[in-house]
Structure 1
């Protein structure tokens, strides 16, 4: 109770509550515009967080992310254009429900199920994270080395598409993470004689460039198109929701827990949680033939999972300092700029902050109901904002954010360079997630490897002389084997198809 009261005293202040409300409205706006993802909304909030204390900074990102995921359902249901990748899986279901005159029910289900899924995710986070942290205190540099390596391996496995492209993306991220001075010898690496690179490449301009600038470049042709017009008026968005929730109550609970577990996997994210939950709901449904025809069961399961995954991603981020997705990668970057290093010790040294974060999660999810209702009523106005007005404002905001990282014009050029890199990667189907995780985890892998090798006087067997270390090493080896097997199988399939043609 004392811990809860301390956390409540930190959260229930006028400035934190105002930041949560403002960030939620910002996330609502960003998520409702097709193509402006929750990750992009988070990246754009980074400049503002430089002027905040740690808790308000995290509260802003948590609130904006939760609302952006939900707001992404609006253009999906009204225009058949998913606002965020996490909304794509059930876009057809919601849109077809609208064609049947149930657009209010579809959007109401999205909001309520997202709120319930988010609350389930927070409960799982509150229960699992401290237990894992107690276990993680026993970790040495050997275990952290294998754990970070395992995180990179999982990122490739769940990145989707071509595993080879995922591996290439990861290697590019590792190369980026090595720029600057070596943490042990102090030797300059890959700086090309530029003193600006001696401290390495700052993570925040990289994130803004890869997620915000690359998306602006990709969507630049749309700025000349006429803005969208939505004629549909949504009436009674929460009518009949109670009976549907009771009918699919087990699906909501299952998807909430599943979404949390998937979110805890490095590199997975809300979109993968949505797809997996939708597929499982269809597998166990009594009426699988109705999926894809405007059936609410799939919509309920997927929308519960996507918000639950947001909480799940904070489990590895807070306990091990390993980002569960791109958003928690940004969170880790923000915390480190505030002098807080995520890890098991944070549950002791920063216990009030951790409890306050959990409370912010609950408040952000509860705000989904009133703000989601307002979003439904104002959807026509949000979706009609011309891209030619919106995109230049976003670009200016990105430049301010990149400059604010180190008060350096060089970081703006870094941001633009990575924006171009992100655009090229997206156009050629290279996943960005493994690159981001490699930039974050690269220094962790290198520093722990060097620490262990010095401690063991060069004896490599020291990396597997402890039970936890050898377990993590075997898990990493199994994942590498699975990735290799999938690559070989995919190559054989392509060869057969080319021979048949």
Structure 2
């Protein structure tokens, strides 16, 4: 309480509140653009922070990042283009609900769950920062290898009923992640002499291509008048949002907890948290047959996890000056510029400022609800536009977004060829979600694997020497063996009955 009252006085000043509001508006506008990440939005905010006070600078970064993460659900629901990589984890169900005429409902669900996840992650940040940061510091390359390998296992859960096609899609994603220079030797792989591929396939253009281009191709191949099938009645369903989220309270709590844990690990991100949370929720869902057909459970799980991870990523950043993700890496640089050096001493030297930052987290996440209402009103306008007018504009946005990542035409090429591949895969009934997961985690798995093998000189038992690594390794191997063990037990049970 000695620090809370001064912190409240620092935050509830007109200039700080104005910065919060304008940064949230900026994040909302940027977030609804397909393919724009929260990191990109925060990077655009950095030049503006030079003229702000330390608290206002951090407030602008926190509010913009939280709003981008939540607003990324809007283009995913309306156009099937994930606004951020995290929203790709549940974009299919969100868009299917829009096609059923429930766009306002699904956007409201995303806004409310993002707010709950952000508040939960902020609470974890306040009450458990030192303890959880100590746990995160014990993670070495061995633990991160097993964690990322466990994340790859989620591909089978998000693939649906056909595990063979899910495994094939995951292998395609892993193959794409192998393009570029090999980690340990720097030797080019699968670049075919193209220097643009030396750094690998750019993820954001690939993401845009995988989700935007198939929809555009199908719309151009469709004969007759292409009316917007989404309808407009969905915007009146905001009142049902709270009751639906309450009904899935257990999913919200589990996803918030998982997102907070993954977010505090240095090098992990909200993207990984959303994918893992969605996969685990599907595994334990009572209605897995509804997934992929317009089911809100996956949206609730992913939206709750990504903003929780976004907040908890500040735990190692504030306590030990170790960035939890790329956003906090940028924020640490801003903190140093403002003379607020992160680390254990910051809770002594700048305690009132730290508590003020905590309050900013809560306010930034609470702003997600009114902006969610604004997104519903925007959806009402978008859904009235004929599809034959939306698709050309969508193609232009996809091209601009792909070009803007590296400011060259290689991004457009990646978007086009990956999009064509995604269209062919979907026409063959192969799910796209495992491909995305393979691209996201493939590089992380390879990097941690090579670092681990180099440090142990090829000794595989080194992956089980550390207690945390051994536990994660055993859990991962059990998950991999679970389908085989289940089949063996089923056969034994059948023989016993016979």
> What's the TM-score once normalised by structure 2's chain length?
0.65
Query: Once the two structures are superposed, what CA deviation does each residue of 1:98-141 show, in whole Å capped at 9, x if it has no partner?
Result: xxxxx99x899958964764455445653677654421211222
Match of 2:306 in 1: 310
- Alignment partners' CA distance in 2, 1:214 and 1:166: 19
Residues 370 and 430 of structure 1, relative CA distance in 2, 3 Å threshold: same
Alignment of 1:46-445 (within 5 A): 51-53=44-46, 60=64, 62-67=66-71, 69=73, 85-87=92-94, 114=113, 117-118=116-117, 121-123=120-122, 126=125, 131-221=131-221, 224-227=225-228, 251=247, 253-261=249-257, 268=275, 279=286, 307-312=303-308, 314=310, 362-363=362-363, 365-373=365-373, 380-445=380-445
Equivalent pair of 1:41/1:65 in contact (CA under 8 Å): no
Q: Which stretch of structure 1 is more off in the superposition, 427-436 or 412-421?
A: 427-436
- Alignment partners' CA distance in 2, 1:408 and 1:447: 27
- Alignment partners' CA distance in 1, 2:75 and 2:200: 36
Equivalent pair of 2:122/2:312 in contact (CA under 8 Å): no
- Alignment partners' CA distance in 2, 1:456 and 1:236: 57
Shift in Å at residue 199 of structure 1?
2.3
Equivalent pair of 2:210/2:419 in contact (CA under 8 Å): yes
Residues 470 and 446 of structure 1, relative CA distance in 2, 3 Å threshold: same
- Alignment partners' CA distance in 2, 1:183 and 1:355: 41
Query: Once the two structures are superposed, what CA deviation does each residue of 1:191-221 show, in whole Å capped at 9, x if it has no partner?
Result: 1122222222222222222233333334445
Equivalent pair of 1:210/1:419 in contact (CA under 8 Å): yes
- Alignment partners' CA distance in 2, 1:6 and 1:453: 52
Match of 1:325 in 2: none
- Alignment partners' CA distance in 1, 2:98 and 2:208: 27
Match of 1:24 in 2: 28
- Alignment partners' CA distance in 1, 2:389 and 2:100: 31
Residues 49 and 87 of structure 1, relative CA distance in 2, 3 Å threshold: same
Q: Alignment length, in residue pairs? A: 428
- Alignment partners' CA distance in 1, 2:91 and 2:233: 21
- Alignment partners' CA distance in 2, 1:7 and 1:445: 43
- Alignment partners' CA distance in 2, 1:444 and 1:319: 22
- Alignment partners' CA distance in 1, 2:139 and 2:398: 38
Shift in Å at residue 304 of structure 1?
6.0
Equivalent pair of 2:179/2:190 in contact (CA under 8 Å): yes
Q: Which stretch of structure 1 is more off in the superposition, 199-208 or 15-24?
A: 15-24
Shift in Å at residue 13 of structure 1?
7.1
Residues 213 and 488 of structure 1, relative CA distance in 2, 3 Å threshold: farther
- Alignment partners' CA distance in 2, 1:93 and 1:213: 21
- Compute the RMSD of aligned alpha carbons: 5.4
Shift in Å at residue 451 of structure 1?
2.1
> What's the TM-score once normalised by structure 1's chain length?
0.64
Equivalent pair of 2:235/2:377 in contact (CA under 8 Å): yes
Residues 484 and 171 of structure 1, relative CA distance in 2, 3 Å threshold: farther
Q: Which stretch of structure 1 is more off in the superposition, 189-198 or 409-418?
A: 189-198
- Alignment partners' CA distance in 2, 1:476 and 1:364: 36
- Alignment partners' CA distance in 1, 2:10 and 2:280: 30
- Alignment partners' CA distance in 2, 1:205 and 1:233: 30
Residues 234 and 400 of structure 1, relative CA distance in 2, 3 Å threshold: closer
Shift in Å at residue 14 of structure 1?
5.2
Shift in Å at residue 412 of structure 1?
0.9
Q: Secondary structure at 1:149's aligned position in 2? A: helix
